[in-house]
């Protein structure tokens, strides 16, 4: 019994070093036997966030658990569109899946949970406007409010024009209004002519 407790404590120490969330592959590489992980899961010491991703059960509840899970499973992805709007408090919608952007040339990400909706961005449209936010000890890549609004207008046929308009209005109310940044990202997304009339109506 004492030996079992020692291996659990060793594993828990590893989890704490990684902010409480660890991939199974990382744990195994660091000397934790897969059987130990399964035992800890069955005893309620850790919980499985998604396939191959575990979290210490005694941590405070995650505020952005789904985003954190996806960030760990798709480290090169960027939270975008409605998920980014929710993160920045610029929508009344509640996302039922994580909207994530990946580079068009990257391999398709494999995530079984939470539900993920993948968008393939190209070149500067993928690289520009990325912010890094530390959430629950995990670096979360999220498009800035201004880049997100431009993306919403670009993908208005997929998420709805009313979503993009609402985001722009809430941005006007809640954020510092950065017209130059909005137009810069509108040019990057090639929707300057589409977005300009809505922007001018709020000035």
pLDDT in tens, 109-133: 777 778 889 999 999 999 999 999 9
pLDDT range class, residue 138, cuts 50, 70, 90:
confident
Per-residue DSSP letter, 114: S
Q: Is the peptide bond prior to 114 cis by the omega test (within 30 degrees of 0)?
A: yes
Domain ranges of the chain: 2-56, 65-202
pLDDT on residue 113:
76
Residues 26-43 have pLDDT tens digits of 999 999 999 999 999 999
**Among residues of the chain, what percentage have pLDDT more than 90?**
60
DSSP string, 30-97: TT--HHHHHHHHHTTSEEEEETTEEEETTSPPPSSHHHHHHHHHSTT-EE-HHHHHHHTT--S---SS
The CATH fold assigned to 2-56 is: Arc Repressor Mutant, subunit A (1.10.10)
Of 49-58, 104-113, 123-132, 147-156, the least confident: 104-113
> What is residue 123's predicted lDDT score, i.e. its pLDDT?
93
Q: What is the mean pLDDT of residues 148-162?
A: 96
CA dist., res. 86 & res. 16, Å (int) = 28
Supply the pLDDT for residue 41.
Answer: 93
Mean pLDDT rounded to a whole number for the chain: 89
Q: What is the mean pLDDT of residues 160-186?
A: 93
Q: Which pLDDT value is given to residue 112?
A: 74
pLDDT at 111: 78
Which residues lie across from 53 on neighbouring strands?
23, 50
pLDDT for residue 1 is more than 70: no
Q: For residues 152 and 85, is the Cβ–Cβ distance under 8 A?
A: yes
pLDDT at residue 20 in the model? 83
**In this predicted structure, what is the pLDDT of residue 61?**
66
In the predicted structure, residue 97 carries a pLDDT above the cut 70 = yes
The candidate with the shortest Cα–Cα distance to 95, out of 82, 84, 77, 111, is 82
More confident residue, 170 or 109: 170
User: Considering the entire predicted model, what is its pTM?
Assistant: 0.76
């Amino acid at each position: 019994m004492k030996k079992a407790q020692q291996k659990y404590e060793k594993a828990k120490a590893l989890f704490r070093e990684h902010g409480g969330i660890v991939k199974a592959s990382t744990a195994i590489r660091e000397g934790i036997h897969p059987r130990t992980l399964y035992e800890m899961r069955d005893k309620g010491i850790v919980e499985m966030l998604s396939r191959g991703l575990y979290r210490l059960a005694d941590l405070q509840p995650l505020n952005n658990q789904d985003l954190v899970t996806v960030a760990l499973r798709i480290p090169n992805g960027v939270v975008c569109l409605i998920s980014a709007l929710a993160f920045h408090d610029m929508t009344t919608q509640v996302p039922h899946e994580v909207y994530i952007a990946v580079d068009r040339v990257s391999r398709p990400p494999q995530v079984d949970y939470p539900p993920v909706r993948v968008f393939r961005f190209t070149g500067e449209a993928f690289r520009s406007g990325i912010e890094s936010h530390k959430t629950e000890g995990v670096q979360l890549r999220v498009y800035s409010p201004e880049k997100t609004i431009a993306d919403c207008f670009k993908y208005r046929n997929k998420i709805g024009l009313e979503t993009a308009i609402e985001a722009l209005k809430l941005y006007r109310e809640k954020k510092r209004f950065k017209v130059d940044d909005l137009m810069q990202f509108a040019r990057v997304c090639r929707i300057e002519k589409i977005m300009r009339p809505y922007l001018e109506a709020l000035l």
